[in-house]
Structure 1
């Protein structure tokens, strides 16, 4: 389990995401769309089209 705090930087992905995507698919979005490194320790937030589901991508 991990904790989120003020020491982390958070990035919200602006588009709707297919929640069937796993680590590799979400990492690809971070690299190609946000032009960031998914292994940087930052937290990336993804929402589905209806904004009813959320996924966080974080690697330490």
Structure 2
């Protein structure tokens, strides 16, 4: 069902290895579907306390960094996760 939804509604390949996350009407539940190389995996998660914090949608989809996805999956506020700034490497000492 969800793999067909990814293909029909999003025009995406559910077997690409991308993780697709679906939210239930209740904000404390999500489902993930992805291809792991040997089969389609379906993961359902319900938070015992709290709700998932969702980012804004862009072009009908959300695009998250791996850190933001991890925060979302753990039930943390993903807005507090920032991309690390690039550190400059000194050319020479002194």
List, as ranges, runs of 4+ consecutive aligned residues in structure 1 with deviation greater than 3 Å.
none
TM-score, normalised on structure 2?
0.37
Match of 1:39 among 4, 10, 15: 15
Greater share of residues in strand: 1
Quote how far apart the aligned CAs of 1:52 are.
1.6
Quote how far apart the aligned CAs of 1:51 are.
1.6
What stretches of structure 1 of length at least 5 have no aligned partner?
1-24
Q: Which has the larger radius of gyration?
A: 2
RMSD value, Cα: 0.7
Alignment size in residue pairs: 36
What stretches of structure 2 of length at least 5 have no aligned partner?
37-94
TM-score, normalised on structure 1?
0.56
Aligned to 2:27: 51
Match of 2:4 among 20, 28, 31: 28
Greater share of residues in helix: 2
Higher relative contact order (CA 8 A, sep 6+): 1
SS in structure 2 of the partner of residue 58 of structure 1: strand
